[in-house]
Amino acid sequence: MVDQQLKIELGKQGVLVTTIEELYNWGRRSSIWPMQFGLACCAIEMIATTMARYDLARFGAEVFRPSPRQADLMIISGTVTKKMAPQVVRLYNQMAEPRYVIAMGACAISGGPFKQGYNVLKGIDRYIPVDVHIPGCPPRPEALIQAFMTLQKKIDAQPLTGEGRPRHLDAAAQGEFPVPEQGEHDLEPTSNKGVWPVPVVIR
């Protein structure tokens, strides 16, 4: 590691000193292309975030891709019904690594106001790994930008080797997530135990 003070001093002399890791992560975090899909009213806030007033382009994420093959980020923007959940997981599987997920809003993180319903998935993190959860109903565009910045910090902090490296650099990492089947009353299985252990609640 280069000493931070020395780095600044060298910078003043016109010499750029960096590491591969820093450069690599800078490149990754500065052009996160989200996938273009919306599930419910949170999608309206997501659209607002990309427009001129909030301008997600400042974070290098203005290019919403209509194909999962070209996308780096999946924003789960809204209620995930049990009818839609298999398709969401399938789309996630079709994305190329490195890929990230933001669960936006109360419904995407827990089922929200529809939690007690018969047809709403109680959080998409039951089937796919979620990097950033945003509460809110719906979250304001600022909250989505905050989630973006959190994700950028997370990418920045990822080492390229050893523990905690991104999945695409880890040969042993799970690449495909099982798509749940639609059963007679519920999805089967009801959650992916490898991704989402049943939470322990202490009251």
Partner 1 sequence: MKSIEEIKSAIEAAIPGAGVELIPNPSPSGQHSLRLAPADAVEVARFLRDDAELAFDFLSNVTGVDWPGKEITEKVKVTRTVTRIVDGVEQQVEETVEEPRKRVEPGCLEVVYHLFSMAKKHGPIVLRMRTVNRTDQVELPSVTPIWRSAEFQEREIFDLYGVVFTGHPDLRRLLMWKGFKDHPMRRDYVDPDDFEYEPTAHDSVLARAAAHKAAIGGVAQKGTGAGE
Residue ranges binding partner 1 (CB under 8 A)? 82-83, 115-116, 118-119, 122, 182-187, 190, 198-203
Report in angstroms how near the CB of residue 115 gets to partner 1 at its nearest.
7
One-letter amino acid of 164? G
Minimal CA–CA distance to 80: which of 40, 131, 132, 140?
40
Closer Cβ to partner 1, 123 or 166, answer by number: 123
Closer Cβ to partner 1, 15 or 198, answer by number: 198
Are the C-beta atoms of residues 104 and 144 closer than 8 Å to each other? yes
Are the C-beta atoms of residues 70 and 33 closer than 8 Å to each other? yes
Minimal CA–CA distance to 117: which of 82, 89, 88?
82
Report in angstroms how near the CB of residue 191 gets to partner 1 at its nearest.
8
Closer Cβ to partner 1, 1 or 200, answer by number: 200
Report in angstroms how near the CB of residue 187 gets to partner 1 at its nearest.
8
Closer Cβ to partner 1, 19 or 119, answer by number: 119
Report in angstroms how near the CB of residue 181 gets to partner 1 at its nearest.
9
Are the C-beta atoms of residues 122 and 111 closer than 8 Å to each other? yes
